[in-house]
Structure 1
């Protein structure tokens, strides 16, 4: 298949219409533990400075050592395809086979571990800032999965602070993000139209707030101090478990069993929505692969079947319950949906995860598919959350949206 034709397939698959937004494609069951980050951080949503390397790792559990290829596309702020041609944002070539892979060693679950770093010998670098999508294809030219990432320049200073909600109705449940963009060294033309911001809570693009315009300008500053437009539900600290030793119960694991692979049964969880907030340190939905008595966890950490159980009244109005976190990119898929077991009286599900330390959360979608993150875990203004603010700018006559600054804050220092 030619390079141009494969690019056309990516755009056709994702867009359907010329200006629709691209969505990430989640992997099939035999692709697990997608770790996507910069070389110096553990974030699962890479937001990189221009020139910094990018690392993508994942496991294929089919034992066939399949070949995978990657394609990189550039997008506008609203995730519509940009007008740039490949040579304007990428030096070298994509559509290359991922050559760095190793097979698992001394594990019950056979798998191959793949690692891609950019820049590399074929893809020598990305040239412009903005939104990107990397798509992974198999040897049959089928799209396996895709992930979004961003590249920015430090051209403006982005100040971020987290406040309690200014809406009295939600003062105990929501957190508001205030933003101050200082552009003393950068000349904005018509900032109310040309400057766009994206606010991300805990690296979850599904709940990010976009299309918020500056509220007013003060000298060289753009000010955002809205009552509701930049507010998030506070949520609750993530639940967690660790199974770095598959042969013994660990943190959050009630008991284990060995069948075809090890099975780990977590302690039964209950609703926290109507309880008093209690501080419980987490890593904001992230995960970390760990295993005892190993030298290389990428190929020596084993897979276990994780059993989740939730004590919760049976829902009868078309709602669904899922367990998610950064380990599955906050996806709502049949694999991580809990089903009500009439015998046990619990919502239950089980799926394979690599040994490690995991944050997870139970969420509800209603009959219309609308997500209610705090329905089971609750919403509290005291919850420690991470917030990232990305600032995009398109000058008059420009052909793409530049990402000119990034700011970050934690609600651990929340104030009124």
Structure 2
């Protein structure tokens, strides 16, 4: 009996509440550049309208042309497993092999590029809105990685406004999200119990805020204007680099070197928490694959070893990590920097595909594992951040959470 079959049996035998919340599984080191594509996004959190195709792509750097298989599962708004049967949310079959892949061409790093699009011949449609997890397995039924995505239907209007924090203690460091859900043609039953919202900053599910209830109703509108509960740390603008030309230094790259593959050495960064805020346009932690003199970036863009460094005294109680959407904001061994006593810098390196990348340095408490995004970069109310609001609805007696609305705003329009 393979592992996928065992997992499906566990869903039947074990009570749903005992399984807890779904967590994304990070890939092994030979799988890189996992990204979703849609009409509007690349390398970002995929929030798709019902009927819009889902496209998942990734590279395998072991040059074995392995077979990979995909499994799709439906979840409740809080990422606990849904009680829906597979046939209720999928038309067709999953647990199928990814058929489309191509080998790299004219690159130092040999890799295979895999592409999965849904709908396809086997999986013809996603039928229900809500939260989903797609898991990728190898030919030995080993889980390689998993990624979350959402499917919504446009049934309510979601107004989003970004305000400075109403808490005077954090007015210079936090941003607050106000929401108005308008229900012109959709009638809610007991919205305090049936409506759930999730607020996401910069496509990062790890720091999302959920479980907020409407504070009051005004006509056909549900109003959310919290003081503390909907506030996020403002953070700072992301640092960035671009290595679209592997043979020459580019934006953020100090110099390059050719070994087994090209190595890109970035300029050394310094802490910014004690410096004045400076507006510096970024893409909010995301990345874009790009390379000059290449026609097909999927297979012609090369991989380089990118070297990061931070000028900082050694910290006894914290670890320093590179943070960004290049790995879905995961804290992993490959993202950790190590202190070099000879030059007084934290240093590390990550193998990344050519492109434009946002990143920042974050601190992790060695004893509690607590993430502090602003420890190195600081927190400023002026920072430009993207916010997404998802509205879920489970009618009385319903068996799953429908995702009925989606709103978005940017703090560039922040007000008091």
State the TM-score, normalized to the length of structure 1: 0.97
Which 4+ runs in 1 deviate beyond 3 A? Answer: 1-4, 9-12, 14-17
Quote the Cα distance in structure 2 between the aligned partners of 1:4 and 1:315: 43
Conservation of the 8 A alpha-carbon contact between 1:70 and 1:95 = yes
State the shift of 1:342 in Å: 1.1
Specify the alignment match of 2:199 in structure 1: 199
Residues 1:332 and 2:331 aligned together:
yes
State the shift of 1:355 in Å: 0.3
Moved more, 53-62 or 3-12: 3-12
Conservation of the 8 A alpha-carbon contact between 1:50 and 1:129 = yes
Deviations 1:89-113 (A, max 9, x none): 0001000100100000000000000
Name the SS for the 1:74 alignment partner. Answer: strand
Name the SS for the 1:269 alignment partner. Answer: coil
Specify the alignment match of 2:153 in structure 1: 153
Quote the Cα distance in structure 2 between the aligned partners of 1:184 and 1:368: 46
In the superposition, relative to structure 1, how do residues 410 and 244 fare at CA in structure 2: closer, same or farther (>3 Å)? Answer: same
In the superposition, relative to structure 1, how do residues 84 and 105 fare at CA in structure 2: closer, same or farther (>3 Å)? Answer: same
Quote the Cα distance in structure 2 between the aligned partners of 1:78 and 1:222: 21
Conservation of the 8 A alpha-carbon contact between 1:7 and 1:71 = no
Quote the Cα distance in structure 2 between the aligned partners of 1:203 and 1:9: 33
Conservation of the 8 A alpha-carbon contact between 2:3 and 2:141 = no
Quote the Cα distance in structure 2 between the aligned partners of 1:227 and 1:37: 36
Specify the alignment match of 2:136 in structure 1: 136
Quote the Cα distance in structure 1 between the aligned partners of 2:90 and 2:18: 22
Name the SS for the 1:365 alignment partner. Answer: strand
Specify the alignment match of 1:411 in structure 2: 411
Quote the Cα distance in structure 2 between the aligned partners of 1:281 and 1:80: 37
Residues 1:85 and 2:85 aligned together:
yes
Name the SS for the 2:18 alignment partner. Answer: coil
Name the SS for the 2:211 alignment partner. Answer: strand
Unaligned runs of at least 5 residues, structure 2: none
Q: CA RMSD in A?
A: 1.7
Name the SS for the 1:270 alignment partner. Answer: coil
State the shift of 1:19 in Å: 3.8
Name the SS for the 2:199 alignment partner. Answer: strand
Residues 1:353 and 2:352 aligned together:
yes
Unaligned runs of at least 5 residues, structure 1: none
State the shift of 1:324 in Å: 1.4
State the shift of 1:6 in Å: 5.8
In the superposition, relative to structure 1, how do residues 214 and 348 fare at CA in structure 2: closer, same or farther (>3 Å)? Answer: same
Conservation of the 8 A alpha-carbon contact between 1:59 and 1:113 = yes
Specify the alignment match of 1:222 in structure 2: 222
Specify the alignment match of 1:114 in structure 2: 114
State the shift of 1:7 in Å: 4.8
State the shift of 1:37 in Å: 3.3
Quote the Cα distance in structure 1 between the aligned partners of 2:159 and 2:42: 23
Name the SS for the 1:120 alignment partner. Answer: coil
Deviations 1:14-34 (A, max 9, x none): 999734001000001000000
Conservation of the 8 A alpha-carbon contact between 2:34 and 2:43 = no
In the superposition, relative to structure 1, how do residues 4 and 108 fare at CA in structure 2: closer, same or farther (>3 Å)? Answer: closer
Quote the Cα distance in structure 1 between the aligned partners of 2:66 and 2:328: 23
State the shift of 1:79 in Å: 0.6
Name the SS for the 1:212 alignment partner. Answer: coil
Please give the residue correspondences for 1:52-131 in structure 2 after superposition, counting only pairs within 5 Å.
52-131=52-131
State the TM-score, normalized to the length of structure 2: 0.97
Conservation of the 8 A alpha-carbon contact between 2:233 and 2:379 = yes
